[in-house]
Every structure is written in C-alpha cells, then in structure tokens.
Amino acid sequence: MNQNIINARVTFRNSPIHILERFTIKNLESAYEQFKKHSGLDECVIIQTCNRIELFGKSKTYDIDKIKKTWATITGIEEEAFDENMEYVENKEALHHLLKLTSGLDSMVLGEEQILGQIKNSITSARETKASGQHLNTLFDKAIRIGTRIRNTSGIGAGGISVGSMAVKLAEENIDELKTKKVLLIGTGEVSTLVAKSLQRRGYTFDVTSRTLGRSEAFCETMGGNPIKFEEVLLGFYNYDVIFVATTAPYFLVTNERITEAMKNKKGGIMILDLSNPRTVDEKVATIGGIKLMNLDQIAEMVEKNMNARLNKVKTVENIINEEVSVLEASMKRLDAEPLVKDVFKNIENLREKEFQKALQMLDEKDEKKIKIIEELTKAVVESIVAIPMNNIRKASEQGKPDVLELASKLFDYKKQNQAD
C-alpha cells in the first residue's frame, strides 16, 4: 500500500488485567491529538475494552518507536513496558486482525458480540474528533459489515459459554437467592476477568482479593467488585457463601485447616469453585460438612460440551476471513488512487464546462432542450474517454503497482501537495 495501515495492541493474550490497566488511555480526545501530532500517524482509531487497548493508524511513513513514545507519554508509563506487552502488525496482517476482532475470533470468549459494539463506538468517536479519515473510516465500515455477515452466516456466536460464566451459572443453580449472599473472587487474571464480567452482567455484588491490594484495586476499577486485603480474606472465609478461586499460586490458598476453622463460625454452607490450574483449593475441604467443592476439570468439561459447536465453526470463519482480507486489502489500496482520479475528473470537468460555454456562445443557442442535449453529449464523450484509463489506474492501485500511479501523476500533472488526504 502507498499508505500503511498499522495496528499496535496490548491485550489479554500477553498481559493480565492489572498490567492492561496501565496502558489504558483516559482522555481519548487528547490522545488522538497527541498521536497525530507526535507519532507520524495522520489517521488513528483507538479501541479500548477491559481485555484490550488497540491503536489502528494510517500513514505513508511512520516510526513504531515514536508510537510507543507517544503512548508512553499519554499514559505515564515507561517505554520499556511496551517491549514485553505490545504486539505490532501492519497492512495485510492489520486488516486480518481487525476482521478477527469484528467476527469475534480474537475475543476471550469465542464469538462474543460485545466487541462489535465497542468497535462501532470506537470508529464513531474517532470520526467525531476528526482523528480518522477516508482510509480508516472506509476500513472500519467494511470490517464491521464483513464481521457482522460472518457472525450471521457462521453462527460463531451461538450457544457458547466461558469457564467464568459457567462457574457463575453453577453457583446460581446451587445457591438459593444468590443476590443476597456474600461472594468472593480470589485472583485478577484471565479467568477471574470472565467470572467478574459474568457477575457484573447478572447484577451481583462481590469482593475481590489478590496478593497485593493495588492489583485488586486496579482490577475492580475496570471489572467492578470491591477490593479486599488478602490477609483479611485468609482469616475470614466464614464471611462468604460463594468463593471463586482463580489464581496461579503454586500452593493451596484455600486449605483444609482454614476452611475447617471458618466453618466453626459459619451458620450456612460455602460453595467453592476452584478455577485455578494447578488447583489452589485442597480437595480435602470437600469432606467438610457444609462445603460444596467444584474444580476446574469438572467445570471445563461442561464448557467443552457447550463450546464444541463454536469450535467446529472456527475453521470456517478463518477461511472466510482469509478470502475477505484480500478483497479488503484491494479496497484499501484502491484508495491510494482516488485523490489522483478525483483530481483528473475535476480538471477535465472544468475544461469541459469551459469549452461547452464557449461553444454555446459561438452557436448563439437559446433553445433549452438543445442546450441540454449538447451538454449531455459533451459529458458522455468525456466519460467514455476518461473512464477506461481511470479504471486502469484504480486497478493498478489495487494490484499494488505504485509505479503506474507515479507515471499517471506525471502524465496528468497531479500535484500531491495540493491535495487534502
């Protein structure tokens, strides 16, 4: 492409929620201004969800280091943080990634629909602030249409459920009036995010704890919940009716001794759902009266049955995306030729109008019907002469032949610097 499309992103695939939070851009309008001013991008769109912060940009020339530096300045984090957490792709790979986003193939929960609405909101916001232009507006409009069509034809979003939402569903099935109960979530990673999203969606209040209070607070700012000190939780399991455990600790956090002690001060029972891998709940707690324990293997088995239908469709969706990305790439390349084509048509129309008016004066023609016929004739002649070379220029642009565009620019005396992109 004459113009490059880039995508720089920090997502749940490489970074846990408490790290993602650091890359979040608080003031979008100011950020757009900074990126366009300092990063070398002349168009940009920012997508932010609880699972990702992504920047799509357009520029003829750009510098990824300038993009990192600008992003670091906006968020106040060190540039080195991008080395471990940021992924970067350009052109065809960037288009491919955007289609995966709009079709739900890159989501934490395969096929989930929320991301499509978030992308629509992102391009609307970029348009309103004039951060995006012809290239990214066209790209996002087409990607949203393609993603919607893929979802509708493939059924990728039908009948799926995550480990987190399945765990919450099981809690609902086993605990009467769950909304009146005390719920605890231990952990702030990927699975905890899914649990928190599911609890939030169903309107439950819940406490969140992690090894550090700061991490819990950052998680709760994004995902909801009330942050609780880790030490308080370890000594106060009796305060809770449902405990979701989703950590990567290499030892038992919920021990037989702690739960035995907790049940001495507990009137009702406790349901514990261990979503950790490896397990962080001692299986012996299942033998304690009033305790119902479910582990990740049991829950994952239920999810697997539920997800098989979606997973069978992934290959189909990937094949559709591979076909569509080539068409999308051609459309984006064609945009490179449009300023030249538009300029040529404008200049030729000016010449046609000028010569048309001269001819009318020479003919001294007053009959409106005849004047209309002559004008339509001149337009038809111009169109028939110009259409073929202009379409060939567009095709050359689609096929990635900048030399043809360069030659056409010389032939038609096209001045790029006078054109607003």
Active site members: 50
User: What is the DSSP code string of 41-67?
Assistant: -SEEEEEEETTEEEEEEEESS--HHHH
220 carries a ligand binding annotation: no
- Residue with the two structure tokens 């065809």: 92
Is residue 191 part of an annotated ligand binding site? yes
For the packed helices 114-128 and 92-103, what is the interaxial angle rounded to 10 degrees? 120
**Ligand-binding site membership of 287 (annotated):** no
Annotated binding residue 51? yes
Count of CA atoms in the C-beta half-sphere (13 A) of 192: 29
Angle at 179 between CA 176 and CA 182, to 5 degrees: 90
- Six token digits for residue 3: 């113009």
Backbone angles phi, psi at 38, to 5 degrees: -115, -15
192 labelled as ligand-binding? yes
The helix or strand, by DSSP H or E, that contains position 390, with its residue range, turns out to be: helix 368-398
Consult the annotation and say whether 113 binds a ligand: yes
CA-based nearest residue to 396, from 322, 340, 344, 323 = 340
361 is in an annotated binding site: no
Q: 138: exposed, middle or buried (C-beta count within 10 Å: 0-12, 13-18, 19+)?
A: middle
Under 8 Å between Cβ of 248 and 189 = yes
Instruction: Give the separation between CA 107 and CA 56, rounded to whole angstroms.
Output: 17
DSSP-based three-state secondary structure for 68: helix
Ligand-binding annotation for 52, yes or no, is: yes
State how far the alpha carbon of 256 is from the alpha carbons of 261, 274, 280, 287, 294, in Å.
9, 14, 11, 9, 15
The values of phi and psi at residue 364, to 5°, are 55, 40
Query: What are the strands, taking DSSP E only, across 22-153?
Result: 43-49, 52-59, 87-90
The one-letter code for the residue type at 184 is L
Give which of 335, 337, 341, 331 is closest to 386, Cα–Cα.
Answer: 341
83/228 Cα distance (integer angstroms): 32
Residue type, 78: E
Binding positions for substrate are 49-52, 107, 112-114, 118
Binding positions for NADP(+) are 187-192
Binding positions are 49-52, 107, 112-114, 118, 187-192
